[in-house]
Structure 1
């Protein structure tokens, strides 16, 4: 069994082309699924949270013509003829959310990509950076990106990143020249950027990053532990990396008493229980927040315009596996195949809590404290933080995981307005900075694309109202439980999606799979 596990992990880390051989094709968007775009759409009476960090203001009327925000009438009272009017009095309107760390299934757990796409849209996510959506000769990323742009499928706006050598005719990237050729090839194919797993030697990584900048492609890295002896986060930034996702590479840049992590004698990277149980103990090998080394490292990241996409949520089960396993949306909205994938396993990546103890959870809670501190200090000094959810692993289901990430950004110390900023304009700018242009979405601004989310309750007061399952509270006047919240409408490209109906579609997918397994 251990040999099977090791083989599966080696495939996952070294041959992503094998990971998704048989994903289903996304069906065309059926008639009636989403309305518009309209020649004129009027959203009337909402309180606006514009994404820039500005305070809420309302009521406002927002006028959309086709797919652009044409006017914002502060104080309301817009007197125009409209093809569609959304009465949003008492509701809150924000820019569509941007998920900067997306994947979309594989045949074993969620073979139909529309499952994840609809969950994202139902939670207000109108743009997703796929890192990636697939790999190898059957990579669906570019096809899905183009179909989404044409709105022939029900999906967020998609941005496609890929891994060096995972697509294209070049095979393994084993020279700087080949790396540059590969970058030019993915640019011509329509990819938006590159995701690194720290598998390249520094001179090849540097060449790829340099060519990516020349070609206007973004870069982000999961700085895996097998390469961190040569390239930690500080070194990757020195070589030209734009963004760091997860925690990898940060603490290895802050080691207090050694140059390399001091692994225990029985450590085995290919045994994920060993790997992830030890990760939390890495926090014991670095100094305290506020020390000279911490301050110098954070300043270095900011001076080099790095973006952090921490994805706190994806490892949150490490703090409390029982809670993660019993999240209230699993029964209705998590596919049985996905729930099976989440269960402890020797073969499924991320299902590493084989014998997860209270000591492991305590260590992870301590690890999060330092990870939160690092992110908060980076943000406080002017660094850009974005919201990415990395769904489909470790009990993190699409859409719900994104809201969970917003809650954890709040826990890390971002204010509610800063959380909204991370979820909107910050994510948009991370994606578009490499292109050298201001993003066409990410804030409610005249002239920008009509990517918007409308919620009946105030997310600045309670982020839980963004969950598709809503927020349960006691009505003190009636002494009865009631459920409030959930996104009401998600607007992408001027097309109005009924968020509750999208969730009903997902619930039907889950019920159909359950029935097929009986």
Structure 2
């Protein structure tokens, strides 16, 4: 069996649900679940954080006609526009941002969460209006494309869904194990309606190069998780040289920066034992050169000059540096359904559930790993590289929506300024998706003509990103001494449709309670 075939089979084994457990169909959006779109929707009195990095400005009235921003009125809209509006949202004292873009989404494992609307509603409740699925579901005959079409038509309650396919997945044409067959698979995926390709770097350089070249010709996006099974031949530098558009996670970076030619693994290392895999990946950091060294700076400059995008997904591995904190997050009790908590628990089979004997030494190694990973991302960003926000939810105690806000907090921890974090979450994420198509992103900024994808928040996220969590932020009232929960997204607007974030969270809490009661 070829290495590529073996690696993909292993991926399928950890990513696909058992045959007995099937994903449910997403129900149609019912009356009252989202309001609009309107001939005229007016959002009044907001402070606008418009997405490009410009400072906040307000009060501003935002006029939406249908699914587009029609006008911005600093100080207030004229009386005739106020009177003509079919709905007015009073956002006085609140903050309005572009809808968030999650560039790394999954939603297809019935063992964890059989109803996809669980994840879709959690994303929307946290202001995420666009998700790139890499991919949403693994395997053939999955509803990636139909979910995307139904979301585009707003017949389901979901963010805008951008479907990518994993290289070699979905079709019945056999393994793309030659350059010619790789090109054939890319053309097939394009014809089906996929916007891009997710690689796991198990193909040879020749096959990967052919697929990337064909993807560019077909105007498809490309992103790679450069798995350790193939990174000896294709590290991040090599993949980017071959034409890769985006690197997600950390894989391939430290292998490009090793002091010696190949990484050291102990003699009892086993990639398919995930505690071994994830425990030792953190030990790559000391094997790499130091920030500021000649090899480090050359690599960062190479990445920036290439135009590649980094979506680090810091959050998805954050439990590795403090597993006790990760499994006791505020939201698990109310919003994480029991089947998902079961999946998160230490397991020999569930992907990402690798804390079978996780020690303080493992956590220390991961904290040191993060320091170097943060430094790489910060240097790349500071030199002009594009960083985007992806959450990779549904694994390792990272529940949909909450995980995305966690990613924003970790981008801030890496050293990006608050406005830069919001830019990564909005316009830069939108551009990463639309640039391969040769199109200007239709969303990602609050500007006239842009799609009406908006997040309305009572508190200022630039001062405290925690106010974006669905559970809000705990704060003591200085006047009364009472401990209060403040913040949380109030409304999410997608395609001009106003969703009540509180109602979405109540639906999710009901799903969790019903599953608990059924047990």
1:144-201: per-residue Cα shift (whole Å, max 9, x none)? 0000000000000000011122112312111111111111111111100000011111
C-alpha contact (below 8 Å) 1:19/1:135 kept by paired residues: no
C-alpha contact (below 8 Å) 1:105/1:392 kept by paired residues: no
**What is the aligned partner in structure 2 of residue 67 from structure 1?**
67
1:338-369: per-residue Cα shift (whole Å, max 9, x none)? 00000000010101111001111011000000
C-alpha contact (below 8 Å) 2:17/2:111 kept by paired residues: no
Distance 1:421 1:20 in 2: 39
Aligned to 2:135, what secondary structure does the other structure show? coil
**What is the aligned partner in structure 2 of residue 398 from structure 1?**
400
Distance 2:18 2:136 in 1: 9
Is it true that 1:96 corresponds to 2:94 in the alignment? no
**What is the aligned partner in structure 1 of residue 3 from structure 2?**
none
Aligned to 1:134, what secondary structure does the other structure show? coil
C-alpha contact (below 8 Å) 1:311/1:387 kept by paired residues: yes
**What is the aligned partner in structure 2 of residue 109 from structure 1?**
112
Distance 2:465 2:477 in 1: 19
Distance 1:107 1:181 in 2: 31
C-alpha contact (below 8 Å) 2:16/2:109 kept by paired residues: no
Distance 2:279 2:401 in 1: 27
Aligned to 1:500, what secondary structure does the other structure show? helix
C-alpha contact (below 8 Å) 1:193/1:219 kept by paired residues: yes
**What is the aligned partner in structure 2 of residue 24 from structure 1?**
24
**What is the aligned partner in structure 2 of residue 45 from structure 1?**
45
Which shifted more, 500-509 or 266-275? 266-275
**What is the aligned partner in structure 1 of residue 457 from structure 2?**
455
Distance 2:24 2:345 in 1: 24
**Matched residue count:** 509
Distance 2:321 2:482 in 1: 32
1:294-315: per-residue Cα shift (whole Å, max 9, x none)? 1000110111100000000000
1:350-402: per-residue Cα shift (whole Å, max 9, x none)? 01111001111011000000000000000000000000000000000000000
Residue 16 of structure 1, CA deviation: 7.7
**What is the aligned partner in structure 2 of residue 4 from structure 1?**
none
Distance 2:109 2:12 in 1: 17
C-alpha contact (below 8 Å) 1:283/1:370 kept by paired residues: yes
Question: Cα distance 1:446–1:10, how it changes in 2: closer, same or farther (>3 A)?
Answer: closer
C-alpha contact (below 8 Å) 1:101/1:129 kept by paired residues: yes
1:367-386 alignment, distance < 5 Å? 367-386=369-388
Distance 2:453 2:150 in 1: 17
Distance 1:19 1:321 in 2: 25
**What is the aligned partner in structure 1 of residue 478 from structure 2?**
476
Q: Which stretches in structure 1 are left out of the alignment for 5+ residues?
A: 1-7
1:412-467: per-residue Cα shift (whole Å, max 9, x none)? 00000000000000000000010011100000110010000000000000000000
C-alpha contact (below 8 Å) 1:38/1:66 kept by paired residues: yes
Aligned to 2:437, what secondary structure does the other structure show? coil
TM-score (norm 1): 0.97
Distance 1:193 1:440 in 2: 18
Question: Cα distance 1:133–1:406, how it changes in 2: closer, same or farther (>3 A)?
Answer: same
TM-score (norm 2): 0.96
Aligned to 2:420, what secondary structure does the other structure show? helix
**What is the aligned partner in structure 1 of residue 412 from structure 2?**
410
Is it true that 1:139 corresponds to 2:142 in the alignment? yes
1:66-99: per-residue Cα shift (whole Å, max 9, x none)? 0100001112243212010001000000000000
C-alpha contact (below 8 Å) 1:102/1:389 kept by paired residues: yes
**Which of 337, 358, 361 in structure 2 is aligned with 1:359?**
361
C-alpha contact (below 8 Å) 2:113/2:337 kept by paired residues: yes
Distance 2:363 2:96 in 1: 38
Is it true that 1:54 corresponds to 2:54 in the alignment? yes
Distance 1:192 1:105 in 2: 18
Q: Which runs of 4+ in 1 moved over 3 A?
A: 8-12, 14-21
Distance 1:20 1:406 in 2: 33
C-alpha contact (below 8 Å) 1:243/1:308 kept by paired residues: yes
C-alpha contact (below 8 Å) 2:15/2:109 kept by paired residues: no
Which shifted more, 76-85 or 201-210? 76-85
Over the residues paired in the alignment, what is the CA RMSD in angstroms? 1.3
Aligned to 1:211, what secondary structure does the other structure show? helix
Distance 1:459 1:165 in 2: 40
Aligned to 1:39, what secondary structure does the other structure show? strand
Residue 135 of structure 1, CA deviation: 2.4
Which shifted more, 219-228 or 164-173? 164-173
**What is the aligned partner in structure 2 of residue 172 from structure 1?**
175
Q: Which stretches in structure 2 are left out of the alignment for 5+ residues?
A: 1-5
Is it true that 1:84 corresponds to 2:87 in the alignment? yes
Is it true that 1:238 corresponds to 2:241 in the alignment? yes
Distance 1:491 1:18 in 2: 32
